[in-house]
Chain A
Amino acid sequence: EVQLVESGGGLVQPGGSLRLSCAVSGFTFSDHYMDWVRQAPGKGLEWVGRSRNRAESYSTGYAPSLRGRFTISRDDSKDSLYLQMNRLKTEDTAVYYCTRSDATGYSVYWGRGTLVTVSS
């Protein structure tokens, strides 16, 4: 059974940093593309970024509005995906979902999400 479990969310002040983790199981992590998608309270879904698979050299892509502040990485030895978020803004407040995605781009499996609150 495919499982994705996010962690690392919490309250952080504006300008601060936070690293989210996504622990996966039930599939060969290195074979798959992984995405982060977020959802602000009461709002819609927003794609954050992607980590491609080993065959694509784990290359990454980001939403243009987030490029430069957010960084995605992965550790295949730990079956884990990470999202490093720097210079956080109040508008980054959201539930952050980790997803396992098809290479073409849609998200097949989703974690339950972790809430990040940016507030002073």
Chain B
Amino acid sequence: DQQVKQNSPSLSVQEGRISILNCDYTNSMFDYFLWYKKYPAEGPTFLISISSIKDKNEDGRFTVFLNKSAKHLSLHIVPSQPGDSAVYFCAASVHNQGGKLIFGQGTELSVKP
């Protein structure tokens, strides 16, 4: 039972354009959402997060949007750079479940020069 789903295993984008990575979830109790970035042979690193009381959070080139009614969140990267090429994981948590993170399958982003 996959509570957090990333249905696109891969995405290819031209440098300078927008990258949009999508994530869907099924558990309406999730109240905090995060994106992690992972380079090959490295562990995931935290990128950006959003609380369920917000619908948008921006940090530089990265913006996360949350649509609670659709149980959907997305990560926008503008402009995309070759160094952004990595696997991006969406994650969610419920505070009364001890804060443990439930991750999606990941989307591999390739930004071509």
A interacts with B: no
Give me the interface of B with A, judged by CB distance under 8 Å: none
Give me the interface of A with B, judged by CB distance under 8 Å: none
